[in-house]
Amino acid sequence: MSVKILMVCLGNICRSPLAEGILASKLPKDKFFVDSAGTGAWHSGNQPDSRSIAVAKSHNLDISYQRARQFKVEDFDSFDYIYVMDKSNFRDLIRLAKKNEHKEKVEIILNELYPNENVDVPDPYYGIANGFEMVYQMLDEACEIIATKLKTNHR
C-alpha cells in the first residue's frame, strides 16, 4: 500500500500542481502517491496555469497532464500527509476537519524549511513575472526535505 501525500492551495492551478510534480519527481512511484487539490472549485477540470507548466518544463518537469479538482472532506481519510501552501489554506482545511486526527495531518509546507514560522508560499496568480520561478525554488527546497523524511520514515 502506498503512502499518500496531498498538496493543497486555493485554485489548484498555480502552486499545488507544482508541489505535486516536484515531490512526485523525488519519490519512488511504487511506494508513494502524490496528488493536489484546491480549496476553491473555480478551476476544476482545468490544466495548471500556463506559467506553472512553463516553469516546471524549464526544470525538466511535465505537469501538463494534471487537472484541477476541489479538496473534499474524504481526502482527510484518503491521504496520510496534507501540505497547504499558505495560512489561508490552513484555516480553510482546519475548518473542514471534524476530527483531531484529520487536523493533525495538515501542515504548512514551508514549515519544513522554516519550522513554526508559518511562512506562506505567495500566490503568484496576479503577481510579478518571476513569481513562478520563486515559487518553484521554495517548493523544490521544501520538497527535498519532505522526500528525505518520507523515504526515511517509510522504508
Region at 136 (left for phi over 0; alpha for psi -120 to 50; beta for the rest): alpha
Residues in contact with 65: Cβ distance below 8 Å, sequence separation at least 6, in sequence order: none
Stretch near ligand 4NP under the rule CB under 6 A, chosen from 10-18, 71-79, 107-115, 144-152: 10-18
Residue of the chain from 5, 6, 7, 11 that contacts ligand 4NP (CB under 6 A): 11
Give, to the nearest 10 degrees, the angle between helix 131-153 and helix 50-58: 70
Q: Which residue is nearest to ligand 4NP (CB)?
A: 11
- Would you count residue 110 as binding ligand 4NP (CB under 6 A)? no
The distance in angstroms from the start CA to the end CA of the chain is 12
Kindly tell me which of 2 and 127 has the beta carbon lying closer to ligand 4NP. Answer: 127
Kindly tell me which of 29 and 87 has the beta carbon lying closer to ligand 4NP. Answer: 87
CA–CA separation, 155 vs 51, rounded Å?
35
CA–CA separation, 96 vs 40, rounded Å?
13
Site residue total, ligand 4NP (CB under 6 A)? 10
Kindly tell me which of 127 and 151 has the beta carbon lying closer to ligand 4NP. Answer: 127
Residue of the chain from 79, 123, 136, 138 that contacts ligand 4NP (CB under 6 A): 123
Binding footprint of ligand 4NP on the chain (CB under 6 A): 9-15, 42, 123, 125
